[in-house]
Amino acid sequence: MTDAFDLDAYFRRIGYGGPARPDLATLAALHARQVDAIPFESLDPLMGRPVRLDIASLQAKLVDSRRGGYCFEQNGLFKAALEAIGFTVAGLGGRVRWMSPPDAPLGPRSHMLLQVDLPEGPYLADVGFGGHLLDAPLRLEAGPEQTTPTGRYRLDRDGALLALKVMTGGDWRCAYVFNLEPQVHADYVAASWFTSTHPEVLFTSTLLAERLTERARCSLVNTRLTETPRGGTPSERLLASAAEFGAALEELFGVTPPAPVDQIFAKLTAGA
């Protein structure tokens, strides 16, 4: 295994057959294809398995296998693909606010996102925010509302930070805050180790999985599955057995789990 990025294998994995040019059309197409083809999932931290962020490991897991990953893996892979095409990309660090009260203190930089510089200006690209996957890059510009095929977004100034807001349930909800200070690989390794090992961090006790296809957004929190057709009404159900859980991973998320389904389901339902 080497650190050379296999762009052709990545294109096959996401089902992309278009041009490979460092322009906005290619960026948008790849962004939409990755969140469709490679699901967000946090099975490895949940099961106490290591999360490796080197290029060879990312390709082996997310490209060569039927697996997904969380933000450091998803956006690490996406950054490598964009750079292989010739895009100018900087990795940034975000502080997640998605499930925090508005007055809660800021947490650590536990999220990876990307700044992509184009002739049209800088864009925010993020294929790894598992609370609410984005289907398209956004202009890195505070103020105006931006609409994608699946959502409404805006970037607000929050002191020295930018805040990504998502319209959901009739209200603007903050996904995360960030600044434009570039992060290096070691920053992500440290943050990923914390988010995948600390006993009080969400990913070590809770399964999150999400996939955003042309037809629907599918979200799984432990055994609670929500399916939202594009332009439709969400439906929610609890997966009542290991067989149902395994079928959802296979059919809706396209994931081959890293441990027996019975073992994962038992961990999720322990004490329920």
Written as six digits, the tokens of 166 are 């998502």
**What is the average per-residue pLDDT within 185-189?**
98
Q: Which of 126, 132, 135, 218 is catalytic?
A: 126
- Tokens at 3, concatenated: 């650190």
Q: Is the pLDDT of residue 1 over 60?
A: no
pLDDT of residue 158: 82
Answer yes or no: 174 catalytic.
no
Computed over its alpha carbons, how large is the radius of gyration of the chain? Answer: 18
- Per-residue model confidence (pLDDT) at position 266: 97
**What digits encode the pLDDT tens for the residues 18-49?**
999 999 999 999 999 999 999 999 999 999 99
Torsional sign, CA 42, 151, 15, 26: negative
Say what the pLDDT of residue 100 is: 84
- Structure confidence by residue, pLDDT tens digits, 103-128: 889 999 999 999 999 999 999 999 99
Q: Quote the pLDDT of residue 3.
A: 67
The CATH number of 202-269, from 3.30.2140.10, 3.40.50.2300, 2.40.320.10, 1.20.1250.20, is 3.30.2140.10
Contacts of 5-14 spanning 24+ positions with Cβ under 8 A: 5/55, 5/59, 5/80, 5/81, 5/83, 5/84, 6/59, 6/63, 7/81, 7/84, 7/85, 9/59, 9/63, 9/64, 10/59, 10/63, 10/77, 10/81, 13/37, 13/38, 13/62, 13/63, 14/38
pLDDT for 102 equals 82
- What are the extents of the domains in the chain? 202-269
**Active-site residue identified among 6, 31, 44, 71:** 71
Residues 31, 111, 135, 218: which is the catalytic one? 111
Average pLDDT, the chain: 96
CB–CB of 73/62 below 8 Å?
Answer: yes
**Residue % of the chain over a pLDDT of 70:** 98
- pLDDT mean over 62-69: 98
Please say if 111 is a catalytic residue.
Answer: yes
Mean pLDDT of 51-75: 98
Shortest CA distance to 80 belongs to which of 103, 47, 107, 54?
Answer: 54
Q: What share of the chain is helix, strand, coil (3-state, %, to 5)?
A: 30, 30, 40
Whole-structure pTM value: 0.96
List the alpha helices (DSSP H) in the chain. Answer: 7-14, 24-37, 43-46, 55-58, 71-85, 185-197, 242-251, 261-269
- The verdict on whether 156 is a catalytic residue reads no
Annotate 230-246 with DSSP letters as a single string.
Answer: TTS--EEEE--SHHHHH
Q: What is the pLDDT of residues 230-253, one digit of tens each?
A: 988 999 999 999 999 999 999 999
Measured distance CA(265)–CA(237) in Å, rounded: 15
The string of pLDDT tens digits covering residues 190-218 is 999 999 999 999 999 999 999 999 999 99
